[in-house]
Amino acid sequence: MIRGRNLDKELLTVCNTTVFDLSGSAASEIVLYNKNHEIKIEKVWIKYIEATSADAGVVITIGDSADADEFFTATSEVSKDALYSKEYTEGSMVLSIVPKDTPVYLAHAGSKAGTGTVVVGISYTLVA
């Protein structure tokens, strides 16, 4: 799902991923792509749809391929209630500018011993 709104005369667009089951197999999907413009990632958030268990978290990455963490990486949190959300701003990014014509993947390592499902949101603007 993609939404946009005008903030300070820049179009801020929000993209939400499908639901990822962190205890399942490793998974990835293309979440952003713009052929003609660079994209600036403004914010990433992880919303926990299902409460997470106390065992170790798994790595969640955003990169230019299914196995890269070029733009963002974080480890899922443990012992969080359903609907808990963690927000990461530009300072948390490895890189925030995505070159034009570059697919952006979200991936997770999977195999979390306990429970945890998440949706990842990304807000971004187009770079002129």
Give the model confidence (pLDDT) of 71-94 as tens digits: 999 998 888 899 999 999 888 888
For the chain, what is the domain count?
A: 1
What residues contact 122, with CB distance under 8 A and at least 6 apart?
A: 14, 15, 31, 32, 41, 43, 44, 62, 104, 106
pLDDT band at 2; cut points 50, 70, 90: very low
pLDDT at position 24 = 85
8 pLDDT above the threshold of 60: no
Query: Which tokens belong to 76?
Result: 């899922």
CATH number at residue 55: 2.60.120
pLDDT at position 66 = 67
C-alpha 52/C-alpha 6 separation (Å) is 35
| φ, ψ dihedrals at 8, nearest 5° | 50, 40
C-alpha 58/C-alpha 79 separation (Å) is 13
Domain that holds residue 66: 2-127
C-alpha 37/C-alpha 42 separation (Å) is 15
SS3 76: coil
